[in-house]
Chains A and B, each alone.
Chain A
Amino acid sequence: MSDRLIIRDGDADTAVIAEYEATRREAVRRGLTAGGAVLGAAMIPALLGARNAFAQAGGDAQIVSSAIQLENTAVAAYDAALKSGKLDSATTKVVRIIRRQEQEHANALTSALKGLGGTAPKGPNQALLKPLSSVKSQKDIAMFAVELETMAVHAYYEAHGKLKDAKLLQAGASIMANEGQHLVVLRQALSRNPFPNAFETGQK
């Protein structure tokens, strides 16, 4: 996947390019290029696209709809991880719990969207899942999951600046907090600092 894809897809304005560059640098800082070059390069444009879609969503219903697709994508990603045959038994057990919780998020958000008169999007964002086809190890999967959960945390963080409904804000915070908890065990699996950020915004 070309680094230029995201720019070709949208308006080639400097803000988009600058954000893409910032995201790429973040990924590099997190160590994606060390031992995960292919994974990292393939993932970033898709992750950024999803993150932008979420951040740029307008009203509450649009934000919730984007969140549902992100949660559907997480469910599909963890399903793929469970079917990969690359997880050991202890990790499989943990990933099953995470997968179930992502499904719970999707279900609750779907109910909320119905309450707002909207219709939930079906299925995952396939572009986000593409890198999973090239994972070679449990470590690769954990690295992918860290990126996915970090982007989810950032998406909910952005949503907190836009959501109007009090209950949605609270539900969003309780989901964001749970994604942060998933990050703790995923970072532990990679022998990283489990909670490096006092302000967990998904930006670092």
Chain B
Amino acid sequence: MEVDQFLRDDRSRRAFFSTAGVSLAGGSAVLLAACGGNGGGSTSTSGGGQSTGKSGSGDVAILNSALDLEHMAVAAYTAGAPLLKGATLKAAKQILMQEQEHAQGLMQAIKQMGGTPNKAKPASAYNFPKLSNAMGVLKFANNIENTAIAAYIDAIPKLSDPKLRQTAAAITTDEAEHVTFLLQGLGMKPGFPDAFVTGKK
């Protein structure tokens, strides 16, 4: 399937992102472990507003879903890089390296909490859309980055550990920076159309 068709086809996107640890629900993206059930981070209500996660048991599961997503991003940039050139290739390599750093950071946090980090899947497990040119790579990458942003923002209040919330916000901000670069490459300068970066359509 071509990238443009993939981006239009919600069913294909749902199937694809579920392999990468994300549920696409109601125009947004939610890490599978944070969907409820599966030991996901609990939220409780106090007073008028929803408060943050109170249970640490869900943190490992949420981080493992985030790790799945980062593993997929690494595989996607690795698959797309051969179609890029010059400055774009150089920047894409830097992005790939940063996605690897996110994965390593998450693995370390999971281990520190006594959990077992999910392993990376082979690229063939993801059923990537057909990447045939640089524009297709940038569009696909932009979709992945925005899905990741939406998933992290959904997950932040579900994490019980304040330090993990900080780490997730720092990763979200880096992904948003990648989006700016990708939008510039797609001719949408300066590349920050929304004052509130939510990753949602």
Contact = CB atoms under 8 A, between A and B. Distances in A.
A201 B169 CA distance: 8
Given A173-B152, A181-B176, A195 B181 contact: yes
A195 B174 contact: yes
Contacts of A104: 195-196
B174 A197 contact: yes
Chain A interface helix/strand/loop/mixed? helix
Q: Chain A: interface residue count, which band? A: 35 or more
A175 B52 contact: no
Interface residues of B, number: 46
Interface string B85-98: 00000010011011
Interface string A169-190: 1111111111111111100000
Interface of A: 94, 97-98, 100-102, 104-105, 108, 153, 156-158, 160-167, 169-185, 193-195, 197-201
Contacts of B149: 177
B169 A157 contact: yes
Contact of B177 (A156, A163, A200): A200
Contact of A198 (B98, B153, B190): B98
A100 B193 CA distance: 11
Contacts of A166: 43, 49-52, 157
Given A104-B195, A178-B192, A178-B195, A195 B94 contact: yes
Contacts of A156: 169
Contact of A180 (B49, B157, B173, B196): B173
B69 interface: no
Nearest to B192: A181
Contacts of B176: 177-178, 180-181
A157 B98 contact: no
